[in-house]
Structure 1
Amino acid sequence: MLKTKVAVLLATGLLASCVEAQNTTEASIKKALEPRLGGAKIESIRETPYGGLYEVRVAGDILYTDKKGEYLFIGRVYDTKTSTDLTTARLEEINKITFSDLPLEMALKHVKGNGKRTIAVFEDPNCGYCKRLRQTTLKDIDNVTIYTFMYNILSEDSFVKSKNIWCAPDRNKAWDDWMVNGKLPPTAPSACTTPNDKIVALGQKLKIQGTPAIFFTDGSRIPGAIDLKSLEAKLQSVK
């Protein structure tokens, strides 16, 4: 019994020492790197199981460094045995959201076909890639419910267009008229209120740095426009 207690105490002490050493290393890395990142703040530092590298999370992205923070590695880490992109897998893991937490009442809702599948798309009305996505992939896909958050990040004019669309009698028609056909909606009454500012804050919280950004019910996301075949494959993989 005494031996067991001693073993537990030793193990506990060893674990505490390891945690303290790890915290010290992470603090040293942050102190060495952060002043050299142009004002960007390090969100977290984590030792990886490969190559003695440390994962450094900055602005929703991943960088790598050594134990002393003397070198910075920008790029992807691959598992050569499985050809797995470990960096992408890790980014998908840390950037997952809880889909049910999205304030869908602030989005345009468009049901196509039976609407059984669901996606949420963040788009800026002045985004060329968003327009292309609307004119091709989202126009052709069926049996899906699309929630569109008008995420205004490109210009002040984006806010104006989004307000006019939000305040239109038929929001979905006004959105498609503009994004697909280039037809501007009528000017909204000044008294009409919109969720524009709240959506910008939401997008920043979700670390959406560009549009379009597509979210799926499993919490995963795809940044950028994709073709119909790729979107269908992704939807089939979502459980």
Structure 2
Amino acid sequence: MRFKYYMTLLLALGAPAVMAAPADDIRASLDKLNLPMQVQTISESPMEGLYQVQMDSGRIIYASADGKFLVQGALFDVTDGGLSNLTAAAEAKTIGESLNKLPREEMVIFAPEKPETHVTIFTDVDCGYCRLLHSEVDELNALGIEVRYLAFPRSGASGESAATMESIWCAKDPQEAMTQAKLGNTIEQASCANPVANQYQLGVQLGVQGTPAIFLANGTLVPGYKPAKTLAQEALANQ
């Protein structure tokens, strides 16, 4: 079963016969579902009676104390200044930490000499907006932004796009291969142990539904293309 980002889901589950600590009941309910994600932490949420369940993907769901009900969706704090999305803030923090720990050697990176911050982009070589964004990588670098690419072939972890991306990751010069592929040129086929399938699955777990999916250094998601100057401003403001 796959959770979709920001879609509210209410599940009625069988309550345990004997009440235990909330975390135990919640974990037992989730174990029944055989989710593709693992529970990382369970803690009280800012809303009384509602518990926050942090998944290893970075996503958050909420649960009643007895584990009988689960809710997926955004929890907002109503203040005098308007609404504050508590769920998005908590998810971004964990996602940012997770992405920032990925090995650099498993990414295709375009970096200026002295980067001020970075963006991590799930990309597809056959995506028109990905190609447009890549044409502005030099401008992003000039503005102090390091671009870190992860593979997200939209047709899945197998097929022509995935094969092309595997060749990029296995190329002698991955940066040049990425550029040529995004120009629509044929690149030399290459094979090796590569992270393309794992990166695709990571994107699925993070709720990536299209490309480019741009994550700023603090984990904030920027869905879709933005011009280099606008993206650089947002990246510098969300380190």
Q: Normalised by the shorter chain, which TM-score bucket?
A: 0.5 to 0.7
Moved more, 117-126 or 199-208: 199-208
- Distance in 2, Cα, partners of 1:93 & 1:75: 17
State the match for 1:53 in structure 2.
50
TM-score by length of 2: 0.67
- Distance in 2, Cα, partners of 1:92 & 1:149: 18
- Distance in 1, Cα, partners of 2:115 & 2:93: 27
TM-score by length of 1: 0.67
CA RMSD between the two structures:
3.6
Count of aligned pairs: 209
Contact 1:78 1:87 in 2 (8 A): yes
Q: After TM superposition, give the deviation of residue 113 of structure 1 in Å.
A: 8.4
Distance 1:101 1:34, change over 3 A: closer
- Distance in 2, Cα, partners of 1:162 & 1:41: 25
Question: Which runs of 5 or more residues in structure 2 are unaligned?
Answer: 1-18
State the match for 2:78 in structure 1.
80
State the match for 1:162 in structure 2.
165
- Distance in 1, Cα, partners of 2:103 & 2:20: 37
Q: After TM superposition, give the deviation of residue 182 of structure 1 in Å.
A: 1.9
Identity within the alignment, %: 23
1:185 aligns with 2:187: yes
Specify the SS of the correspondent of 1:63: strand
Contact 2:130 2:225 in 1 (8 A): no
Structure 1 letter corresponding to 2:89: A
State the match for 2:223 in structure 1.
224
Specify the SS of the correspondent of 1:196: coil
Distance 1:129 1:224, change over 3 A: farther
Distance 1:128 1:155, change over 3 A: farther
Q: After TM superposition, give the deviation of residue 86 of structure 1 in Å.
A: 0.8
- Distance in 2, Cα, partners of 1:167 & 1:61: 31
- Distance in 1, Cα, partners of 2:122 & 2:26: 35
Structure 1 letter corresponding to 2:92: E
Structure 2 letter corresponding to 1:55: Q
Q: In structure 1, which of residues 65, 68, 72 is the aligned counterpart of residue 66 of structure 2?
A: 68
Between structure 1 and structure 2, the one with the greater Rg is: 1
